[in-house]
Amino acid sequence: MAPTSKHKNYRARRQLLLAICIAIFLLMVNLLVPLRAQASSQIQSTSTPTAQPTPTFDLQRLEKPVIASNNSEQLKKGAEIYWGVCMACHGDIGQGLTDEWRDAFGTEDRNCWQSGCHGPDHPPQGFLIPKDKVIPAVAGSSKLTRFNNAQELHDFILANMPWWDPGQLTDEKAWQVTSYILSLHKVMPKAFDLTDTNASAIRTQYAVPQPSDDRPAVLTLTGILALAAIGMIAQDLRKNKNRVAERPNFFHHLHPPTIPALQARFRYTLGAGGLAVFLCLILLVTGILEMFYYIPTPEHAAVSVEVITSLVPFGALTRNLHFWSAQALMIVVSIHLLRVVLTGAYARHRRLNYLIGLGMLVLILLLDFTGYVLRWDEGIRWALIVGTNLLKTIPWVGDWLYRLAVGGPEPALSSVERFYTWHIFVLTLTMIILGAWHIFRVRRDGGVAVPPPDQRKDNARLSRFDLVRREVLVMVIAGVFLLFISVFFPAPLERPITQATVDMGVNAHNARAPWFFLWVQQLLKLGDPFFWGVALPVILLIVLAILPYTLPQTNENELGRWFPRGNRLAQIIVILITLAVIILTIIFLIPTTQL
Amino acid sequence: MKNISRRDFLKLSTNSLLALSGILGIGGLIRYLSYQFDPTPPSEFDIGSAYDYPIHSRTVVAHIPAIVIHDEDGFHAISLTCSHLGCAVEERNFGFECPCHSSRYDPNGAVLKGPSTANLRKFRVAEAEDGNLHVFTT
């Protein structure tokens, strides 16, 4: 025994050392990346010319637009437009039409409102500058105060500039000019492209901390996890049959000492239940992290989502992980439900747990919908209005349900807070309770459904050590997959709902429900909203719920197998429902010809 | 009634009292959650000077949302909120179409194609003393 334990000690120590090394390396990666970004931003800020008005005007500074080579394309183009169009009136450093700036024009043109081009008798290509009109500065302390953020500045420029011919700028050009003006104003982050979905996070009255690209760090983490997964698989391949008895830790104790090997076959369970638990954990952690920055008010909700997505270090990762885990959960639990029916596993004493599971499916749909609405951007507006108006169509209790969900006569002030509370507290808490009950019932009902011991072909048993190792392996692989998707496929976001977007009617193009409700949206095209949008989905749910209570069930000896003979009718019903949902979704997605 | 034992009677009354308090509690919860702090949405919109809406013009006012029509009969307006489930309809050459569930209406707001079953609502438009048009959505 002595040499073995010594060997084991040594191995444990080596593993510990390795773990510490990895941890230090990760910390370094995480720390170094932002540091480097900060260092370079400091250099940039000293190297960009911060020309102050000098007593004698240096005309050289007007020769060409000021463009630092490391600026974004958007900023460079903005600098050119500003130099060519805006500078004459707003000044080369955004000072406005000051006396000092007019001195630069030469004696003839100094009095803009009297000279040829801008006097009362201006030629056709000129225009009048009224003497009483102050041409505002666009940069400098306490300037641009009428705009809260880059989005508002952009909207103003797009609608009102250039002053003599408003509306000639394209959306793209307005962004370029906005970007350049904000850099004159010294609040524009470096290497940052303004868009409809991040500009509300860029403030005009103070510079937000320079965001850094954290994708290299995330990819490093993904790579390390992938290597760890390969290592775990390699360890499993050279399985040591006479392993020294380990002492079970906390996580081992959450499992029974051994389970029948039949219950742990991947081709039977598809790992869907376990994966769902893992995804729920990720959703819980990332959701809590999002709560630190999310502000549940109509003015701030979408802006705070922009802050999370484009400014907070690893914020985009957090949000993408939350989004993709939610989408994956929807798919995984659907597969889990299909598996349970198609293997007849819900029979007899397991049917209560089947109902609990269906309840959780409904909760997940509600959680997905409320979470989607919390974006409070233009993308969710019609889904919110349709979804809540559907509640109104329910006879007798409709109006009351609507008020309960929305908190007012129409989606407005109170609604974000309502949806926030439904999402992060009521639904989540119910989900945790039902989830714990569901897992407890799995154990109480004797684990995953397999034939009784005397009718099994294989009576081998799997220890909890092997079970936990498999679970961890699946978690690591799923984690790698999620991280990878989260780096390359950002979660959808559109511009915030504001009074301006409502007035402009910005959002009309986006009338699509979240993907898991597209089949309902297609059904709603058929007619009566209550029948197709509320009653039919509820009937489908009831059909699913009464399967174990009405239709024939599998025999015990048939358990643990796909497509057993005993519950064929239930299998056919569930396959038909699944096909109908998929076909309706596809019909919706086929583009229809416009008249 | 006579053959209910004292024990059963006590049990029954205790349980009914518990149930009653539960129902009262749920009633309180419903009232609590039904309170409306938000103001009711406006039913009258000032859409600016009548001169901005010349004769034979059709102008979309997105924030109502409605289309203001000025023809021989004067000013009137058609709601752009779909009567099916409340999305804002878009203008097409045949009239209006809802982007959510493809209901169609003719230029006067009458249903051409379902799922919608009701025409787009008509809003009253009146000129105020200051020359501004007001749209009434009730």
Residue A374 lies in a domain: yes
pLDDT category at A247 given cuts 50, 70, 90 is confident
User: In sequence order, which residues have a C-beta less than 8 Å from that of residue A180 and are 6 or more positions away?
Assistant: A75, A78, A79, A81, A82
Q: Do A161 and A254 belong together in one domain?
A: no
pLDDT category at A358 given cuts 50, 70, 90 is very high
Q: Do B89 and B57 belong together in one domain?
A: yes
The helix/strand count (H/E) of chain A reads as 23, 2
pLDDT category at B35 given cuts 50, 70, 90 is confident
Q: Do B13 and B57 belong together in one domain?
A: no
* Per-residue pLDDT at A81 exceeds 60: yes
How many domains, chain A? Answer: 3
Q: Do A228 and A177 belong together in one domain?
A: no
pLDDT, tens only, A577-591: 999 999 999 988 887
pLDDT at position A267 is 85
pLDDT category at A513 given cuts 50, 70, 90 is confident
What would the mean pLDDT of A347-371 be, rounded to a whole number? 93
Q: Do B59 and B87 belong together in one domain?
A: yes
* Per-residue pLDDT at A334 exceeds 80: yes
Q: Do B54 and B25 belong together in one domain?
A: no
Whether the CB-CB separation of B88 and B81 falls below 8 Å is answered with yes
Residue A120 lies in a domain: yes
* Per-residue pLDDT at B105 exceeds 80: yes
What are the CA-CA distances from residue A487 to residues A221, A226, A318 (Å)?
A: 11, 15, 10
Q: Do B59 and B114 belong together in one domain?
A: yes
What would the mean pLDDT of A315-335 be, rounded to a whole number? 94
Q: Do B129 and B95 belong together in one domain?
A: yes
* Per-residue pLDDT at A277 exceeds 70: yes
Q: Do A90 and A137 belong together in one domain?
A: yes
Q: Do B88 and B65 belong together in one domain?
A: yes
Query: Within the 461-520 window of chain A, which residues sit less than 8 Å (CB to CB) from chain B?
Result: 499, 502-505, 508-509, 511
Q: Do A331 and A229 belong together in one domain?
A: yes
pLDDT, tens only, A391-423: 888 888 888 888 888 887 877 778 888 899 999
Whether the CB-CB separation of A486 and A218 falls below 8 Å is answered with yes
Q: Can you give the residue range of the structural domain that contains B11?
A: 1-35
- End-to-end CA separation in angstroms for chain A: 83
Q: Do A171 and A290 belong together in one domain?
A: no
pLDDT at position A595 is 41
Instruction: Return the residue matching tokens 């969710």.
Output: A380
How many domains, chain B? Answer: 2
What would the mean pLDDT of A165-177 be, rounded to a whole number? 81
Q: Do B27 and B53 belong together in one domain?
A: no
* Per-residue pLDDT at A263 exceeds 50: yes
Q: Do B28 and B83 belong together in one domain?
A: no
CATH number at residue B69: 2.102.10.10
Residue A530 lies in a domain: yes
Q: Do A270 and A375 belong together in one domain?
A: yes
CATH number at residue A194: 1.10.760.10
Residue A211 lies in a domain: no
Inter-chain touch A400–B30, beta carbons under 8 Å: yes
Which of A188-202, A232-246, A464-478, B53-67 shows the lowest mean pLDDT across its residues? A232-246
Instruction: Return the residue matching tokens 């994708």.
Output: A215
pLDDT category at B130 given cuts 50, 70, 90 is confident
Q: Do A107 and A237 belong together in one domain?
A: no
pLDDT at position A85 is 77
Q: What is the mean pLDDT of chain B?
A: 85
pLDDT at position A61 is 61
pLDDT, tens only, B110-123: 898 878 888 898 88
Q: Do A226 and A178 belong together in one domain?
A: no
* Per-residue pLDDT at A36 exceeds 60: no
Q: Do B53 and B24 belong together in one domain?
A: no
Inter-chain touch A511–B38, beta carbons under 8 Å: no
Q: Do A461 and A570 belong together in one domain?
A: yes
* Per-residue pLDDT at A53 exceeds 80: no
Residue A517 lies in a domain: yes
Residue A52 lies in a domain: no
CB atoms within 10 A of CB B12: 11
pLDDT at position A40 is 41
Q: Do B121 and B69 belong together in one domain?
A: yes
Nearest to A525 among B36, B86, B102 (CB): B102
Rg (CA), chain B: 27
Q: Which of A233, A200, A191, A181 is nearest to A65 (CA)?
A: A181
pLDDT, tens only, B70-87: 888 888 889 988 888 888
Q: Chain B residues with CB-CB distance to A under 8 A?
A: 30, 33-34, 36-38, 40-41, 60, 62-63, 65, 84-88, 90, 92-94, 97-102, 114-115, 117
pLDDT at position A507 is 56
Q: Do A186 and A294 belong together in one domain?
A: no
- How close B52 gets to chain A, by Cα (Å)? 17
Residue A42 lies in a domain: no
Q: What percent of chain A has pLDDT over 90?
A: 22
Q: Do B129 and B61 belong together in one domain?
A: yes
Bridge partners, B71 (sequence order): B74
Rounded Cα–Cα distance for residues A369 and A375 (Å): 11
Q: Can you give the residue range of the structural domain that contains A26?
A: 1-36
What would the mean pLDDT of B21-32 be, rounded to a whole number? 84
pLDDT, tens only, A207-222: 788 888 888 888 888 8
Q: Do A122 and A221 belong together in one domain?
A: no
pLDDT at position A339 is 93
Residue A393 lies in a domain: yes
Which of A23-32, A88-97, A291-300, A485-494 shows the lowest mean pLDDT across its residues? A23-32
pLDDT at position A48 is 43
What would the mean pLDDT of A348-353 be, rounded to a whole number? 89
Phi, psi of A13 (to 5 degrees): -65, -40
What are the CA-CA distances from residue A559 to residues A553, A574, B82 (Å)?
A: 10, 18, 51
Chain B contact for A51 (CB, 8 A cutoff): no
Inter-chain touch A389–B102, beta carbons under 8 Å: no
Q: Do A420 and A502 belong together in one domain?
A: yes
With beta carbons under 8 A apart, name residues in chain B contacting A504.
Answer: 62
Chain B contact for A404 (CB, 8 A cutoff): yes
pLDDT at position A347 is 85
